[in-house]
Amino acid sequence: MRIKLEKRENITRTLSITVTLFSVLAAMTFIGLIFQVIGINPVLAYIMIFYGSLGDIYGLSETIVKTIPILLCSTGLAVAFRAAMFNIGAEGQLLMGAIASTYIALYVIPNSQSIIIIPLMFIMGFTAGALWALIPAILKTKLSVNEVITTLMMNYIAEQLTMYLTTGPWRGVELWGFPYTENIPAQAYLPCISGTRIHYPTLIIGLCAAALIYVFTSRSKIGYEIRVVGGSREAARYAGISYVRVALITMTISGGLAGVAGVGEVAGIHHRLSPFKISSGYGYTAIIAAWLGKLNPIVALVASFFIGTLLVGGDILQVKLNLPYATVNIFNGVILLFIIGGELLLRYRVKVIM
């Protein structure tokens, strides 16, 4: 018996959506088996996850809180991936945004009014994230250094930089040795929807970015250039499209939006910089959201919300069933694996030859 893969000629939208949904379901079934093995009723666990994250106002609001950074990062990643720039560095770019905004709020203009300090934090956060992404982009375009490696490595640098700042020069004095900075001044706090932690300015930026990018990639000249470069670099050269320009623009958007997510986490949630809590892996999770969304920012928005649900559900499992937090990582990992596996089924028809 042999298994043969045959390339599919025609991939319809329906097939694509079906395969994605099926992949997610298969992943959830697989995780259900894991629950079963460790002695937890999988049906009960899923009820807990979805009821806890969507069933009441508190759960829903927390899900939205988790959705915000994933949405921002995945929107940016969708742009970069469209141009075949495989940016794995949203995590580091997010941290750089967090660092930049903390710096503004604590050291540059701590005494100015909200109307000045908050926009400046967003602008500098965007810039910092963008610059962090531009380093690998320049290495890629000028020296052909693989961006997957460099963007990933830049994450570690950003993490260590955060660690250094919070345990060294920026460490708060009254914090009994914990690696935190001082709290940023209250006028740098982002406003929240009352009774929740939803820092709506960041959410609005995220939603606008997703909408704008959707429109720009499908209808604008630069969006067209991005799609041509992502489709075939040779064809782009033939069309006179500058690969360097497209690479730099997409990485600027991608890194910048991740940086904005970092600003949201500092100014909207934690109100200080800390090496462990500030991101909890949003930059990596967003990669999954971007692929789940087939690089369409609007679909990625839905995917981000779905992953937000799982993250909050994971917290609940942790509390109610005493499961380790790593459960959530297993969740995400399994889903990504199944989606990538599903891509194979989407592109090829599997034939079993007896």
Q: How far apart are CA 42 and CA 32, in angstroms?
A: 5
Least separation in angstroms between CB 270 and other proteins: 38
Window of 29-37, 93-101, 220-228, 272-280 that interacts with other proteins by CB under 8 A: 220-228
Residue of 51, 156, 164, 238 interacting with other proteins (CB under 8 A): 238
Residue closer to other proteins (CB basis): 227 or 270: 227
Q: How far is CA 12 from CA 8, 25, 265, 339, 344, in A?
A: 10, 20, 39, 17, 15
The pair of structure tokens assigned to 232 is: 């075939």
Which residues lie below 8 Å from residue 69, measured CB to CB, with a gap of 6+? 94, 261, 262, 264, 265, 279, 282, 286
Residue closer to other proteins (CB basis): 237 or 320: 237
Q: How far apart are CA 283 and CA 151, in angstroms?
A: 11
Binders in 3-22 for other proteins, by CB under 8 A: 9-10
The pair of structure tokens assigned to 142 is: 């000028």
State the binding string over 190-219 for other proteins (x if CB under 8 A, else -): -----------------------------x
- Residue 221 binds other proteins (CB under 8 A): yes
Residue closest to 256 by CA, chosen among 73, 67, 68, 66: 73
Window of 149-157, 201-209, 225-233, 342-350 that interacts with other proteins by CB under 8 A: 225-233
Window of 44-52, 93-101, 184-192, 222-230 that interacts with other proteins by CB under 8 A: 222-230
- Residue 244 binds other proteins (CB under 8 A): no
- Residue 232 binds other proteins (CB under 8 A): yes
- Count how many Cα atoms sit within 13 Å of the Cα of residue 157 in the half-sphere of its side chain: 14
Residue closer to other proteins (CB basis): 11 or 116: 11
Q: How far apart are CA 121 and CA 84, in angstroms?
A: 30
Q: Element (H or E) spanning 349, and its range?
A: strand 348-353
Residue of 204, 235, 319, 326 interacting with other proteins (CB under 8 A): 235
The 8-class DSSP code of residue 196 comes to S
Residue of 168, 169, 234, 353 interacting with other proteins (CB under 8 A): 234
Task: Using CB under 8 A, list all residues that contact other proteins.
Answer: 9-10, 219-222, 224, 227-228, 230-232, 234-235, 237-240
